A and B are shown apart, each in its own frame.
Chain A
Amino acid sequence: KAGVTQTPRYLIKTRGQQVTLSCSPISGHRSVSWYQQTPGQGLQFLFEYFSETQRNKGNFPGRFSGRQFSNSRSEMNVSTLELGDSALYLCASSLAWLAGVRNSGELFFGEGSRLTVL
């Protein structure tokens, strides 16, 4: 069973540009979450999508956006890049968190997209 696939793995951008990252979840997983990981801040939650709807959002500026397609694949976009956006962006998929079902929603991570902003 294929794991979570993220593309591109590495990319270099300059300030002011925008970037789009892609994530293909494990087959059958309908929930996709995105995290930003930096040495100073650790893993910070960006947003979570389920059935093409954003279910939750972290405390990031509006420059960070995402979407999910009908096949559960997800993209995130960062516009007007800043130096501080340099980070590892991790996508994680899960079957789904379902209200009232305790043993649900464990995250499985992709290898990440490492973004460097110059």
Chain B
Amino acid sequence: QKEVEQNSGPLSVPEGAIASLNCTYSDRGSQSFFWYRQYSGKSPELIMFIYSNGDKEDGRFTAQLNKASQYVSLLIRDSQPSDSATYLCAVRGLSSASKIIFGSGTRLSIRP
């Protein structure tokens, strides 16, 4: 079982719709959760982080965390073509807390 799992996609969403990206993790004691966006040929850039159960909103982005289900998600409202990228879920565990583990990413495509 991978430590951080994501559906590789591609996920195709029409412009203006809500894109929903999901991630599960195996370390129940994980502390911190991150979403990164990576455009083709570029390095990952941080979109959001979340530490507590519930929702965290930042502009068009909402991160949701459910520690009981070991599940974290990212919602993108009013999707734009510029949101087309690979989205990486990352988790800081408890046992090796100085290490951040990444999922393999979900490729998102916003169609005009």
Contact = CB atoms under 8 A, between A and B. Distances in A.
Interface string B71-112: 000000000000000001010100011111111110000000
Interface in B25-76: 31-32, 34, 42-46, 49, 51
A16 interface: no
> Looking at B42, B44, B51, B101, which has the most chain A CB atoms within 10 Å of its CB?
B44
Interface of B: 31-32, 34, 42-46, 49, 51, 88, 90, 92, 96-105
A109 B102 contact: no
Nearest to B46: A106
A64 interface: no
A111 B42 contact: yes
Given A90-B43, A102-B32, A112-B43, A42 B100 contact: no
Interface residues of A, number: 25
A107 interface: yes
Interface of A: 31, 33, 35, 41-43, 45, 48, 50, 55-56, 58, 90, 97, 99, 102-103, 105-112
B100 A109 contact: no
Nearest to A48: B98
Contact of B51 (A35, A48, A55, A102): A102
B48 to A, nearest CB: 10
Given A43-B104, A55-B98, 4 more contacts: A41-B104, A102-B51, A107-B46, A112-B43
A109 to B, nearest CB: 4
What are the nearest 10 A-B pairs in CB distance? A42-B104, A43-B102, A109-B43, A56-B99, A55-B98, A56-B98, A102-B51, A97-B98, A109-B44, A111-B43
B43 A42 contact: no
Contacts of A110: 43
Contact of A97 (B49, B88, B92, B105): B92
Contact of A102 (B31, B34, B98): B31
6 contacts: A43-B104, A50-B98, A56-B98, A97-B97, A97-B98, A108-B46
A26 to B, nearest CB: 13
